Amino acid sequence: MQRSRALIAAAWILVGALVLRLVLPFGFPNYDTLYSLVWGQQLARGQVPTYNVALAPTPHPLAEVVGLVLSPLGAAATLGIVVAVAYIALAALPYLVYRLGSAWFSWPVGLAAAALLISRYEVLSYGVRAYVDIPFTCLVLAALLVETRKRRAGWPVIALLDVAGLLRPEAWLFAGAYWLYLAPKRGWRERATLAALVALPAILWLASDLAITGNLLWSLNHTQATASQLGRPTGLIKFPYTGARRLGEVLGPDGLIAAAIGGVLSLWLLRSRIWLGLCAGIVALFAFALVASSGLPIDDRYTFVLVALLAICAGAGLFGWRSLPKGHPRRALWQAGSVVCVIAIVAFIPWNATRLNQTFNSPNPKKQSLSAQLRVENDLVALTRRHAITLRCGAIGVPYHTPIPLLALELHASPARIVTKEIAHGSFLQAASRSVRLIYLLDPNDPPTNYPVPAHFRLTASNRSWRVYRRCG
């Protein structure tokens, strides 16, 4: 029975991934994920990963292991597999939300929650760009689903959170809170075993930082420094406003209205059904606040676990009344609330449609639409595969940091050999137009260097997005 259930789930997820790929054919690994693949590639060559480069992202040990495993297949296959996994994870996310909503309330609640979540432009954008936050959220939701089906399930839940804890450290907090919940009902030996399992991802992450950099807290310190350098909002004082704003940006006004109605009514009338989600939501909110108070950026993608749980509340706002017995004195009130939810969702369809179009197809370079980014990135890859960009003559100069990890992956090189400063010889990469510079800019606080073409460099290759100049010797 369990095997057939797993096969059905896998089939639904794969079908969902194919549909998403057909509807949104804009997938490519983002800057952070590309760096993880590069570092994994360096490990495969027996090299120490080059963490200490300007604007390098936070290391994620599991993502680096993926890069290590895929490295023998070459850059093209690595990129293709990572994009495929990204679409699978993006399809798994609404499936898990559907399963949780169905288990806590009813299948219409789960279906509505899944539909609302997968229609959010932020979720789709981060998903098709292979950010680790989507699989991380899937693993946390899968742990919740295991616990929903079997209370105090124990090590299977912690094992899922351990895997998640090698993608994002917030999972350490989820696992620790779950251990506190389990401990009163377990013997001392089992408590110790589960505690060791809870601590495992933190130990592995810290040990990885220590082995590679000599600094046990490299990931924390480096992310704090990068957040400061890029002027990202952080700190507990900014958390209430910025955190709420980030949540609203992801869930949307209609999602927030429906989640508020569904959450309040569920806590009032169906508290026993929502208590697990409530506990998980409290831990997710505390983890988000802890990230901010640690000097880390208050990013929208850090809200995804909370957004998924609120999407279930929104689904409850629409259909939670079905879980009340017929004739219940508050059933009509809940139905009235569901009408408000429908009105909000319909009213904000133009708002959501505009943002989806801006995210994926906007012709405005400042919007950095994913179709435009993919075009610029494909043009860069084409030049590397024609050997128009090489390291034969020395370092590669680039206008800003965005191209560095992709070039390093394609050229099987250390990212330290690709620089944003003037070079005397080597290859010099220049954006073909101002629109390309805007489309492919990593961050507004990482402006292009605008170095002129160095003296004695000659144009050796070009396409619609890039020009390559070279000087040897």
Taking only the tens place, the pLDDT of each residue in 212-254 is: 999 999 999 999 999 998 889 999 999 999 999 999 999 999 9
For 76-80, what is the mean pLDDT? Answer: 97
If you search the block for the tokens 């997710």, which residue do you land on? 284
If you search the block for the tokens 């492919």, which residue do you land on? 440
**Which has the closest alpha carbon to 91: 134, 149, 29?**
134
Q: Read off the pLDDT band of 96 (50, 70, 90).
A: very high
Q: State the Cα–Cα distance between residues 319 and 300, nearest whole angstrom.
A: 27
Percent of the chain's residues with pLDDT above 70: 99
pLDDT tens string 408-454? 999 999 999 999 988 999 999 999 998 998 999 888 777 667 778 99
Order across the sheet with 418-419: list the strands.
Answer: 418-419, 396-397, 426-431, 466-471, 458-462
Q: State the Cα–Cα distance between residues 39 and 405, nearest whole angstrom.
A: 9
CA torsion sign, 289 to 295 to 300 to 303?
negative
Q: State the Cα–Cα distance between residues 365 and 126, nearest whole angstrom.
A: 19
Neighbours of 387 (CB within 10 A): 10
For residue 237, give both structure tokens. 């004082």
- State pTM to two decimals: 0.96
Q: Read off the pLDDT band of 473 (50, 70, 90).
A: confident
**Which has the closest alpha carbon to 454: 432, 423, 430?**
423
